[in-house]
Amino acid sequence: MRDLTEQNTTEAVLAAWSDNPDPRFKQIVDAMISHLHVFVREVQLTEEEWAAAIEYLHKCADISTPERSEFILTSDVLGVSSLVDTINNRRPEGATENSVLGPFFVAEAGDLGPVPELEVGGDLIGDRNRGGDPTHVHGVVRRRDGTPIEGAELNFWQNGPDGLYDMQEPDRGYNLRCRMFTGADGRFAFTTTKPLPYTIPLDGPAAAMMQYAKRNVWRPAHLHVRIEAPGYERLTTEIFNEGDEYLDNDAVFGVKNSLVLDWRVNESREDAEGLGLAAPFREINYDIVLEPAAEAAEAAE
């Protein structure tokens, strides 16, 4: 191909990619090329603006680490993560809804080894998180018909009383993050500190772009959880607090009504003593309802 013009460039580029033998990859690449070209034409992108976009990507790469992805954050603040999440997790009424993974999920942070396991009823507050609001998180992993799910692996992660996730702290040790396995009763429970609203990381290009555009950089307080159980769809979600001032302008578009709960204040001294907490404390009581995986559902028919 030679002598490309404004008019025939897209056609020529698509033709150059047309031998792509993978139908799905071809569908994605062709649509990406077409939409990118429409976008460039529509905004009449200048060379300076093109260079700024490349510079943005370089800045994302420079600040990203295995535990902090500015690329995921960019996808989050542009609403792409939320859209992908919604498209891929259509569930019936009564099943727990998905929400965005966010940039701070860690399965295994390099030299730190796997995320520690906490027994059901364990304590995540430890010595490092005094000063926050003590909170008891509990519920059951179950099916829509109420049957408890045994052997579910839950991953919880959240920020601390200083508003930061463990991977944002200078010492980078695991904190306020655990894995937990359900027994026959499907129950999970632990004591922790109340998560706080926080800004997305302000030292990277995503926040700079948002602040330039006068967009809110705060997220409402939330507890992240990812659940995997054999035979069930994996669920990644967040639990929010009713009344939080950022529920309607979440920086990353993760809030769904069914995930907003009343993190109620429990003033019972007896309840607090039973948990090794001081009264009053907060309670987050939430059942996580999983759907059978498509293959498992088909096999049962």
Write out the residues near Fe ion by the rule CB under 5 A. 102
Q: Work out how close the CB of 220 gets to Fe ion at its nearest, in angstroms, rounded to a whole number.
A: 10
In this complex, which beta carbon is closest to Fe ion, that of residue 102 or of residue 132? 102
**Cα–Cα distance between 7 and 129 in angstroms, integer?**
61
Q: Work out how close the CB of 102 gets to Fe ion at its nearest, in angstroms, rounded to a whole number.
A: 5
Q: Work out how close the CB of 238 gets to Fe ion at its nearest, in angstroms, rounded to a whole number.
A: 7
Quick check: bond before 170 cis, omega within 30?
no
In this complex, which beta carbon is closest to Fe ion, that of residue 68 or of residue 143? 68
In this complex, which beta carbon is closest to Fe ion, that of residue 102 or of residue 204? 102
In this complex, which beta carbon is closest to Fe ion, that of residue 157 or of residue 232? 157
Q: Work out how close the CB of 268 gets to Fe ion at its nearest, in angstroms, rounded to a whole number.
A: 30
Q: For residue 272, how far is the Cα from the chain centroid?
A: 30
- Asked if residues 170 and 135 have their Cβ atoms less than 8 Å apart, the reply is no
Q: Work out how close the CB of 104 gets to Fe ion at its nearest, in angstroms, rounded to a whole number.
A: 6
**Cα–Cα distance between 250 and 228 in angstroms, integer?**
26
Taking CB atoms, the residue at the shortest distance from Fe ion is 102
Q: How many CB atoms lie within 10 A of CB 144?
A: 15
Could you tell me which of 190, 67, 170 has the C-alpha nearest to residue 126?
190
Say which residues have a Cβ less than 8 Å from residue 107's Cβ, sequence separation at least 6. 114, 115, 155
The residues with which 129 forms a beta bridge, in sequence order, are none
* Phi-psi group of 96: left, alpha or beta (phi > 0 → left; psi -120 to 50 → alpha; rest → beta): beta
Residue 153's H or E segment, with its range, is strand 153-157
In this complex, which beta carbon is closest to Fe ion, that of residue 160 or of residue 292? 160
In this complex, which beta carbon is closest to Fe ion, that of residue 115 or of residue 275? 115
